[in-house]
A and B are shown apart, each in its own frame.
Chain A
Amino acid sequence: MNTSSNTYTVVYASVMVVIVAFLLAFTSTVLKPKSDKNEEIDKKKQILASLNIRDIQNENIEAKYAEVVLSDMIIDTLGNVKAEKGGFDVKKKDINPENLPVYMCKVDGVDKIVVPVVGKGLWGGIWGYVAVDTDKMGTVYGAYFSHESETAGLGAIIAEYEGFQKQFAGKTIYNESGDAIALSVLKAGKKVDGVGVNNRCDAITGATLTSNGVNDMLHDSLKKYMKFLKNNAK
């Protein structure tokens, strides 16, 4: 058979593509439930990490999450609760001022509110979870950050180095008068109006753009939750 004729080439390519498409669709359908489950566990792990519950075995995550997180609500920027359940199923890209997931938690008998934050790093998306105490100042209880594709060894430190995340604990998210978000990631020595000692965390050397990204992410995202957090402060 003449394998270099045009007809043969076109038919060969078409048949091959159909076979491969079928094969990939089949594999994807078979494995989808399993990988969705993994993603869900990973998300729960990240939420727990923001509550300073780290180093937990994968098989214990579901149980711990159920014990700590009381409800996953959906709210809007005005602080109205739109749904009591279903916040967990909101994807990162679907978070908007009308559709804000928030997690009401209880750690060792004390109420915490976990707020997801999303933003842009240097190369791709960054996100995280900030756990806040229910006090007037909005004290941060813990934080977790991760990223899609920040530079390994530099920007990637926001996810890999626990020291970066742990420095957020004890800081406050509001400025002194309590009317604006002031929690910031800044280079040591850099002064910004309205950002007090209690609001600032150290940026990462060599990863200025990622650090700025985290800073903007905190301001943008926390601003949307400010009303809700204020309403729930005791």
Chain B
Amino acid sequence: MGKLFSKENQEVFSNPLNLNNPVVVQVLGICSALAVTSQLKPAIVMGLSVTVITAFSNLIISLLRKTIPNRIRIIVQLVVVAALVTIVSMILKAYVYDVSVMLSVYVGLIITNCILMGRLEAFAMQNGPWESFLDGIGNGIGYAIILVVVGFVRELLGAGSILGFKVLPQAVYDAGYMNNGMMTMPAMALILLGCVIWAHRAYNDEKK
């Protein structure tokens, strides 16, 4: 057990959460991060889906890494990711239909999410299954955190609610406050994401 959670493995897991975050440091997976964050619920489901898919595609590719013919390795990676994405999308359709309608094409587009291909090529092809699995979970959660932060702010300011529940009392609206329609547009997500990157860089520079 000691070896499973060794210092290196902890770093494999925790690096993508902060210092090497796929969204705010490597700036990958921006397209879906902008598109599905107008409300908190789809942002959470999207984050979870990506986490599950990166973790398991990393694991599968890592298990197969010694058998994969080098010339078709990208194709093999794509087939594994595509199969997992299709399964996840079918599960969403069967169990959380409303959310699957909201996420529409973006679940399918996880296949082309740069985070996935990047992790498979850069990590899973060289490392063992357990490390790869941790790396996948870490990157997925790193992506999910940013989505949840952006989704939280956008839903709060754009609709005055969190997870669909009204949180701003009517008195605030009576006093002249209005929901910001801009917040529901993807453009505002890009600006918010910029602010997150700014805060993240400023904080980490200070620590150095």
Contact = CB atoms under 8 A, between A and B. Distances in A.
Contacts of B185: 152-153
Interface in B91-115: 91, 93-95, 97-98, 101, 104-105
A4 B101 contact: no
Contact of A16 (B71, B76, B105, B186): B76
Contact of A12 (B67, B93, B98): B67
A42 interface: yes
Interface stretch (A28-36, A77-85, A94-102): A28-36
Contacts of B186: 152-153
Contacts of B83: 20, 23-24
B95 A34 contact: yes
B67 A3 contact: yes
Contacts of B97: 35, 38-39, 41-42
Interface string A39-67: 10110000000000000001000000000
Given A35-B93, A38-B93, A42-B97, A24 B72 contact: no
B105 A13 contact: no
Interface string A145-174: 000010011000000000000000000000
Contact of B70 (A4, A16, A20, A27): A4
B90 interface: yes
B79 interface: yes
A53 to B, nearest CB: 17
Given A34-B94, A38-B94, A152-B185, A4 B79 contact: no
A188 B15 CA distance: 56
A23 B79 CA distance: 12
Interface of B: 35, 38, 66-72, 75-76, 79-80, 83, 86-87, 90-91, 93-95, 97-98, 101, 104-105, 184-186
Interface of A: 3-4, 8-9, 12-13, 16-17, 20, 23-24, 27-28, 31, 34-35, 38-39, 41-42, 58, 149, 152-153
23 contacts: A3-B68, A3-B69, A4-B70, A4-B71, A9-B69, A9-B71, A12-B68, A12-B69, A17-B79, A20-B80, A20-B83, A24-B87, A27-B91, A34-B94, A35-B90, A35-B93, A41-B97, A149-B104, A149-B105, A152-B38, A152-B186, A153-B184, A153-B185
